[in-house]
Every structure is written in C-alpha cells, then in structure tokens.
Homo-oligomer: A and B are copies of this chain.
Amino acid sequence: MSGLEPGRLSLNTATVREQWGLAEAIEGCARYGIGGISPWRDKLHEMGVDAAAKAIRDAGLGVSGLCRGGWFTERGAIDAEVRNDNRRAVDEAAALGAECLVMVVGGLPKGSKDLPAAWSLVEEGLAETLDYARKAGVKIAIEPLHPMYAADRACVNTMGHALDICDRLGDGIGCAVDVYHVWWDPELETQLARAGKERIMAFHICDWLVPTRDMLTDRGMMGDGVIDIPGIRGLVEAQGFDGLNEVEIFSALDWWKRDPDEVLATIVERGRSVC
C-alpha cells in the first residue's frame, strides 16, 4: 500500500494543542497541504464557531470530526447539563460541517464500581444525543478508547462493544477508529468488517511507543512505535472508508514541546513514508 499524500491527512488540534490556537492550526494545515482539520471544542470556543467555520472553509479544509461530545457518566445521570452540552456539540459539528461528532463516553461515575450501570448510562446518553443529531444532520461516532481508560475516560473499549450499541440505536451512529485504542484487539478485523462503511466514520492515526511513559500523554508519531498503521488502514479502506486520516498525538513529553512547523512537516513526511 502506498503512503498518504498530505491531502489525505487531517490534523487533530490536540496534536499541537500546546503551541497553536485553532486559527494558527488552520493556517498550518493550509501551508503544508494537509487536507483537513479536526478541532477540539476548547480551541473552537476560543476562536468562535462562526469565525472558525469561515476560516476552515476559506482554507479549503475538510472537517474530519469534532472532538468531543460524551462524558455521559461524569455527573452520574443524564441531567440537563450533560444533555445540553451534547446538544451544543451537535450544533457546533453542524456549523462546521464536520463528518461526525466524536464521542468520548465517560468512565465510571465517581465512587462507583458498577461498570454495567455506567454502560447503561452511556447508552441512554448516546440515544438522546443521536435523536437530536439526526434532526441536525450530524453523525455520531463512538470512539472506543483503550481499555486502560475504562475507569476514568471511556467505559466503551472495543469496537465490538461500540457496534453492539450502534446496532441497538440504529442509523446515524458509528465508530471513530483510532489505531492507538484498537491495534491490540484480536477481534479488530472481524469488527471492522461488521462495521462496514456506514459505521466507520473516522480513522485516527498515531503510534504506540515502547515503553509508554505516561498513560495519557505519551502517544507516538506514526512510525515511532509498534502499530501496523498501513495494515489497519488497509482493513478500514477495504470496508470502503475514504475519509481523511486524522493525526491525533497527545505527547507532553515530546511533540508538544517542539516547533509546530516541525510537527506538521514530520506528519507530512511520515504520512508518505510509514502510513
């Protein structure tokens, strides 16, 4: 499989979150020929949704996703605050014309050890948000996070579990497939085939470093770790996925410390050489 030209890449703003605001990230993508962007909402709110939508449009960028809705378990119930924040996220995704709203569903409620109860709360929140999102024409993408985040970030940790939820909830909901979270899963190929084009709504790339020095902020640049990125991309594309390849690297120990132009130049080079 040949590598990825920059026009097939998207920059998740988390990758340069310590260096750049959204306006600078949009300009950076345009400068390096990167085809799209995926803003985090904190960056989006700083810039303003309308200004961001216009700047992204003017730069000719796609929007591979908006990060993120979810956190359904944070308050122990789907209350007005949780519900309204997710509706706002849907509205923002619509305003940006994002391919999907990415959902980080939340872990165990504080003080709880009841994982099945957390799963129920997540499904309740997804169902409500999906209902709203369908009317807004926004697709909802559950991002199964690596099982090491089950307690404190997301209690949906496999494609299989995410797709079980999708099957129960129907159209308009699918998965954001991030190689960092799913590369280890012996069911990955089977579950990607089960997902099919309809339910593969986003594809995120980075790498798993050995050793990993921090559970949250030590993701690697593509090629620096052990993930077979072309292999997984091949499985995703075999299902018909033809969206952007979104680069999302949390790296307090390395890439967040570097000149952001070096980060983008490296992304472009690695896209071609190792993805």
Contacts and interface: CB of A to CB of B under 8 A. Distances in A.
B146 A148 contact: yes
Q: How large is the interface on A (under 10, 10 to 19, 20 to 34, 35 or more residues)?
A: 20 to 34
A186 interface: yes
A53 to B, nearest CB: 36
Oligomer copy total? 2
B147 A185 contact: yes
A79 interface: no
A151 B226 contact: yes
Contact of A211 (B114, B152, B160, B212): B152
A158 B146 contact: no
A186 B119 contact: yes
Contacts of A225: 151
Contacts of A113: 226-228, 231
Interface in A120-158: 146-148, 150-152, 155-158
Interface in A44-62: none
A80 interface: no
A148 B151 CA distance: 14
